[in-house]
Amino acid sequence: MGFLARLPTPAGAKRPGCTRRQAEVRRYRSPMLPRRPGRALGVGIQLPEVEREVRWPEYRAIARTAEDVGFDSLWVGDHLLYRDADGAVRGPWEAWTTLAGLAEATERVALGPLVAATAFHSPPMLAKLAATVDEISGGRLVLGLGAGWNATEFTAFGFPFDRRVARFAEAYEIVATLLRDGEIDFDGTFFQARECALSPRPARPGGPPILIGSNGEKMLRIALPQAVAWNSWFTDFGNAPEGIAPLRERVDQAARDVGRDPAGIERTVALLVQLEGGAGRAGGNDEKEQPAPIAGPPEVIAERLRAFAAEGITHVQLVVDPITVESVEALAPVLQLLDGS
């Protein structure tokens, strides 16, 4: 059974003895992002980016191991180049060709960019890429979208960095419309798509679900008319469940502003997790200072994830330090503890 067939928890449903706050956060349930039946929340893993250079055989092995031990999803960053203060450069593999390879290498897990920068492709081409990966994966793509933030790669690869939100708004309209309707005739300030048609169409009606990777109020208002999920990076809420409530309210208000029921927006966050052998994750230039990672035995990590579920988070993407096959295997007991909780 595909994950789209799973039913959400009824909005606003209360259980005997639950508090008002518990009932409130339990509203956020959606069938769009997967989790195993009985699991406290869906759990994905972000595959290597620039922590170290990882060649395809190892990359594929990490992905297949994650699927085998029971992860619900796999995610890749959409970046091109980082330049350190000393001039050293680091870069990941290109996201969409990687996702196509992962779609063929795996069978069950959902796949997605966390998140795809709309600036890196013409909007119709981005819709075409998404439709193709969704087809190869058998309908397992979650289309994470954002405006991008790393000026270094924009400059190096020749993409304009100015007016990113305005550019995102036009790109988003084109991508979402093509995936939903299959055609668009658009003449904007930044992008044109004249008599553009998406053929073949995605097998899923409406195309893959869209996840917006932003906390910006303007970005949320642009995306939430179509998006089914929201995501925030661990540096934006201190990697702690206590930091979720303000962001949750911001998403709620943005949903109301565009006429959406906040209960229809699924809440997801990326979490930094450190295991034995971790020495600090090498992120990208211009990233915020990293908060304390989630660490400890499986029982401690599982309990921390349950705390995020209690705040209305339905899916997490684990950013693991170190990210290796052995680390993925070491997280299997955490998944087992979450099952049935």
pLDDT score for 19: 43
CA distance 32 to 8: 9
Phi then psi for residue 82, to 5 deg, are -120, 145
CA distance 26 to 14: 8
172's enclosing H/E stretch is helix 164-181
Higher pLDDT, 217 or 32: 217
Q: Cα separations (Å) of 340 from 38, 147, 302, 337?
A: 5, 37, 12, 8
Minimum mean pLDDT among 38-42, 187-191, 288-292, 334-338: which range? 288-292
Q: In this model, does residue 22 exceed pLDDT 50?
A: no
Q: In this model, does residue 290 exceed pLDDT 70?
A: yes
Q: In this model, does residue 285 exceed pLDDT 60?
A: no
pLDDT score for 283: 66
Closest Cα to residue 92, out of 102, 100, 75, 80? 80
SS3 state at 194: strand
Domain boundaries, the chain: 3-338
CATH code of the domain made up of 3-338: 3.20.20.30
Strands annotated E in the chain: 42-46, 73-76, 82-83, 89-90, 110-113, 116-117, 143-146, 183-187, 192-197, 210-212, 229-232, 266-274, 294-295, 315-321
Q: In this model, does residue 276 exceed pLDDT 50?
A: yes
pLDDT score for 21: 39
Q: In this model, does residue 11 exceed pLDDT 90?
A: no
Residue 307 neighbours by CB under 8 Å, 6+ apart: 241
pLDDT score for 18: 40
pTM for this one? 0.89
pLDDT tens readout for residues 98-107: 999 999 999 9
